[in-house]
A = this chain, B = another copy of it.
C-alpha cells in the first residue's frame, strides 16, 4: 500500500495513526501542499478532489477521504478495533470525530485560510483559524465531559482520538490556548505515549521541514 500525504496535513496524519495502530506498513509518497502538488494532473487522476490523503492498494485501487479510509481499514483489519461494538457508543465516537473532521478541520485548512487571507489579509486569516479551532475544541471538550478517560472514550484509542491529536496540533500552531481543554489534553497525553501516535507525528515524516 502507498499513502499519498503531506507531513502537516491533519487528514493524512489521521490515516498514519490508524495504519500504525493496525500494524500495517505502507510506502509514503509526499505531496507538498504549499507548492500545490496536490493539483498536479497525475495526482488529480488519483484523487479528483485534489486533497490528501489517498491510499493506493496493491492492486491499484485508490481510496480517498481520511475517515472513509479509516473505516475501511477497521472493517478489513479488525484488530485492534477503532470503534466500540455497541451502536450507541459507535455513534458517540463518530459524532466526536465528525465534530472535528466536518466542523473544524475543513473550515481552517490551507484552501480556506488562503481564501480568507485574500478577503481580509493575514491577520484576519489567523484570527479565523484560531476562532474555528477554539470554538470547535470547546464543543469537543463538552462532548466527552462525562466519558471515562484517559482516552476520549475510555481505556483505548478510537477514531475520536485519531481525529483529536492532529487537530490539537493545528490549534497550537494557530495560537489557541489549549489549556482550556483539560479533558482533551488528558486524551492527547495518553495517545502520545503510544508509538502508533508518536511515530505518525508531522515532525517524524520524511517530508517534514
Query: Which residues of A approach B to under 8 Å, CB–CB?
Result: 48-51, 61, 63-65, 67-69, 71-72, 75-76, 87-88, 90-92, 94-95, 97-99, 101-103, 105-107, 112, 115-116, 119-120, 124, 128, 136, 139, 142-143
Selected contact of A98 from candidates B67, B88, B92, CB within 8 Å: B67
With A71-B94, A72-B87 given, name 6 new contacts (CB 8 A). A49-B99, A63-B95, A67-B98, A106-B107, A119-B119, A119-B120
- Whose C-beta in chain B lies nearest to the C-beta of A125? B119
Query: Top 3 closest A-B pairs, CB basis?
Result: A48-B142, A68-B94, A72-B91
Contacts of A50 in B (CB 8 A): 139
* B67–A94 touching, CB < 8 Å: yes
Q: List 18 A-B contacts (CB under 8 A).
A: A48-B142, A48-B143, A49-B139, A63-B88, A64-B99, A65-B94, A65-B98, A65-B102, A68-B92, A68-B97, A69-B91, A72-B87, A72-B90, A101-B102, A106-B106, A106-B107, A119-B119, A119-B120
Selected contact of A87 from candidates B67, B76, B95, CB within 8 Å: B76
Contacts of A90 in B (CB 8 A): 71-72, 75
Contacts of A91 in B (CB 8 A): 63, 68-69, 71-72
